[in-house]
Structure 1
């Protein structure tokens, strides 16, 4: 008899890769979502239980009770792993109630959401002497003057609460090129009762984006880590990874490990940095406090982050490991990379020859796995339905 793992989120490839990383190690996995529709991770051969519960946002109290009821029926406490930002927010809000029934890396309420909140993250970075892009708060009466004098145009308008912003606008931020566009962007977000900050755009193409991916034990010490370099993202320039390579950069560890340890983080975290094309300095952009988009790459490169989490929480911590060499491996989310490539070519940020050359690297796929193919076919079927509806509409 061993502890189960309960994965929150089955309708995206982060949940899928987490299920696979645990299942391949013999862990019994139960996946949770609010609908069967689009939840292609349910089709993985490693998913032993498919659980449909109340919606985490529309019915949070009912969802909490649903999770408690499930855990109460288990002989041993399950390990709970949220695989999307809204689920992380939910776990943080009900952390103390959930810890009565589940094993969860974090034991202090607020750390997850403080790192997800851009305004609070900025303050933590400044406090720990980590460079962040120059920022102006829209709540300041003279914020327009500050933007003119301290940042300039173009600049970006970023939400303090990313999950809520993305759910409304289907993008991570707004890029504005003038005072008029800034005012319009602020009007839109305030209309939806959301808050934003304004930041300077750090110069450099998308390949100046890097990540520090780390696991911190229950003593808040980094035990396993690697670093990566983005090559393409979608939406282009200000989006999520669709084509990213493992790349050893010691400086990212020097900055990132100290920061995460100082804030008392436990479990998996990914810090996104951008390297200033002019100065070479690394600026902290955001922190992901759930399993990363690049999880299949981390696994293929030698670090199984979900299993590290599971093992430590059940009292069987794994050996420490740090990847201090380049493997040449890349993460590829082919579906969104198609749209990204189209955007890069249209804006002349990349040449077709550069794109074609990039495809000859060894890959860790977002969805495809020859030993577990059903999720890929389920995903393809779902996409085909959406395209068909769009065409006939």
Structure 2
């Protein structure tokens, strides 16, 4: 009997744990030698490759990993930088690896928010109105076409958090909301100083708990092999932050719209659709389409829908699990450190949560971003990194921005 094809994962501890307890051999690959995923016991091998900013070396490193394997391995990717790297070099990479992804043109349109806005309009997708900083002459020209409040987002998120200006007292901001014309002018000038290419988009009212995501894996026959709906419980910071507490939800309207977006967009492979519910009108708006794996899949796997394993079965022609349509909604995913910081810096100061309410919300079944009883070394490595950073901070040393452990 032939050996099972190897899964090669470009980082991401949560995705790695989707393969725990299976017979799938896994090689974890990272461009960062300090990546805590490399310390996990669930990886059969751990390899460090050149950064993607040096594509020729990174490609050669990936080819050398695949070369001695008996069968072409299956390549998994979990962020926009990895997605674009694999897509832009797919002709060469697919000689050594198996992947399932949309066309290169479609991926470029999905990752770039300016291009995505145009794509969504041509496909009749329900997106908020937006303008690009390249298309208008400043914030007042934008306001002539948009209604307040307005949210500013970068065209491409790669490198966004490297800017210290985005790490405010409350936490890292994925986007910046302006409620008045003066605020928009100030934020426009602030962002333009370090990132000239961004979009201004009408902000859909409602807190982060009105943001839902539809996750699926779609094969080449455009058959959805598995899916689930997620909801953000909390983020860091409270507004436009990274996810810290997540749950799955039974939301038929979100699921129905998710299937409709898949049909209109033609996306195959792994996909995450972000929607926001307008509590005033009841409408659902599409905010984002991500054609890649992500840490939500760990929660999905714990709830009964293991999308990375379904993807593996599709590409390896194996049957580890049948297509699944039902999932549990009584288990949550928690990034404890970021959730605690968000409570202390954002939710508690604004009166959104008190100590008792926060503690009560942590009851029930959970899985964690880093901690796992059967896989302790990533937590040990994470605590070591934190202790080193704390010592440097106390000593007055200047630190690079901390690695964030929350969900995008």
1: CA distance between counterparts of 2:282 and 2:180? Answer: 27
2: CA distance between counterparts of 1:240 and 1:322? Answer: 28
1:1-393 maps to which residues of 2 (within 5 A)?
Answer: 1-9=3-11, 15-37=12-34, 39-57=35-53, 59-106=54-101, 108-141=103-136, 144-168=139-163, 169=166, 171-192=173-194, 194-316=196-318, 318-323=321-326, 327-342=329-344, 343-393=346-396
Q: CA deviation at 1:118?
A: 1.1
2: CA distance between counterparts of 1:363 and 1:348? Answer: 25
Q: CA deviation at 1:322?
A: 1.6
Q: CA deviation at 1:247?
A: 0.7
**Greater mean alpha carbon deviation, residues 352-361 or residues 46-55:** 352-361
Secondary structure of the 1:50 match is: strand
Count of residues in correspondence between the two structures:
385
2: CA distance between counterparts of 1:193 and 1:146? Answer: 19
2: CA distance between counterparts of 1:108 and 1:96? Answer: 12
Q: CA deviation at 1:101?
A: 1.0
Secondary structure of the 1:129 match is: coil
Secondary structure of the 2:125 match is: coil
1: CA distance between counterparts of 2:9 and 2:24? Answer: 12
Name the Cα RMSD after superposition. Answer: 2.1
Q: CA deviation at 1:183?
A: 4.2
2: CA distance between counterparts of 1:187 and 1:166? Answer: 18
Listed one character per residue, the Cα deviations across residues 91-148 of structure 1 (whole Å, up to 9, x for unaligned) are 1111121111100012622333321221222223223332212212222345634533
Listed one character per residue, the Cα deviations across residues 35-56 of structure 1 (whole Å, up to 9, x for unaligned) are 322x111111111111111111
1: CA distance between counterparts of 2:329 and 2:197? Answer: 41
1: CA distance between counterparts of 2:61 and 2:317? Answer: 26
Distance 1:378 1:128, change over 3 A: same
Listed one character per residue, the Cα deviations across residues 312-359 of structure 1 (whole Å, up to 9, x for unaligned) are 1011254221226x6222111101101111211112233333322211
Structure 1: runs of 5+ lacking an equivalent: 10-14
Structure 2: runs of 5+ lacking an equivalent: 167-171, 397-408
TM-score with structure 1 setting the length: 0.91
